[in-house]
Amino acid sequence: KLRPPRRGGAEERQSTLQSPPPCLLSTFLLLTRSLAGRGVPQPSPARLGSPALCSPPSGRWWGWTEVNSLAFATLAMAIGGLGTSLLLMAGIVVAVGLCRRLTRRQLRSHQCLYTFFLEMFSTFQICACTNELCMLGTVDPEPHTALTLTYGFSVLHGLTLTGSTCNPCGALQPMWGGGMSVRMGGLKIAAQFVAAVLARMFMRFIWSLEMTEPHFGALSQGCGNPMQTTEVQAFCIELLFSVVFQLTVLRVESVNPKYRVHLVALLITMLVYAGGNLTGAIFNPALAFSLHPNCFYEKFWSYSLVYWIAPSLGTILVAFIWDEILPRIS
């Protein structure tokens, strides 16, 4: 028998050719926005397959608008989260490098301005990048990601910020030993604290843009309570870490710079691993002020004792041992 022709065959084939592909784009975009933390509710499976989500406008094939949307969504997922933070910190490093080069060209004849701006830009880089790194402290796998980033950016700072101390304790040590005038040391310390404030303000602006998930709600956070122990123990930890760090820096001055930055970065990573969960292992007064301004505002004396006086006292102790005791022993 001859089968009767199907009704509407031409129309059915034409509609099949013009029908949209499976609703991958809508599903992908919804999942992308949900993963980015935009607060998009997860739709039900029936909703994912509904014409309202899957059909393109006017029943046509996907055009350049839809293709571009898919491309941008893919790019957002590729560089989202950790990738966005890394790009941000890389941009900060590049911008600071350009500012330091411009400072060397334009202000070398003005010694005070040259010293101030060079130290300010360098400290800004460390404070801004560390503020962003603190947002990535809970990125899985813990604590491997945080420690790897700590080591990597410590090496990067050591390679790009040569000639700058970026730490009030680093300026205090040569002042105590007579290698730097009080005026120049005070100028560097002032530049470091100015940079700490500017870096915090800049990062708050960046966080307000909510470019990545760790930035969501960052502005509403108060004091993060970095001290997870008693004040006496926190004081001793920061004092000890400052002594170890400053002694190591003095000891490796004669080492080739290519290897010195890795040794210092390895030491910083070890100290962060040992005491990061107790005090944050900062041993840098300017950096501590940039990371925890709300804590200094709420508990000024406690935090100034632990994060300002303890590292400074450790630096003075190292300078006394290095300049007074060791020469007599040797």
DSSP, res 299: S
**Which DSSP category does 212 fall into?**
S
For residue 56, what pLDDT is reported?
Answer: 43
Domains in the chain, CATH or no CATH each: 16-55+67-79 (no CATH), 82-329 (1.20.1080.10)
Q: What is the pLDDT of residue 21?
A: 45
- For 210-235, write each residue's pLDDT tens digit: 888 878 877 877 787 889 999 999 99
Segments of the chain with pLDDT less than 50: 1, 11-62, 64, 67, 70-79
For residue 9, what pLDDT is reported?
53
How many residues are listed for the chain in this entry? 330
Tokens of 262: 């890795």
Distance separating alpha carbons of residues 159 and 46, to the nearest angstrom: 55
Count each helix (H run) and each strand (E run) in the chain, helices first: 17, 0
Which pLDDT belongs to residue 169? 93
Token pair belonging to 104: 């060397």
Q: pLDDT value at position 5? A: 52
CA-based torsion, 271, 274, 277, 279: positive or negative: negative
Residue pair 223/295 in contact (Cβ under 8 Å)? The answer is yes
What integer pLDDT is reported at residue 329 of this predicted model?
80
Answer for the pair 311, 240: CB distance below 8 angstroms, yes or no.
Answer: no
**What distance in Å separates the CA atoms of residue 102 and residue 303, rounded to the nearest whole number?**
36
Identify whether 56 is preceded by a cis peptide bond (ω within 30 of 0). Answer: no
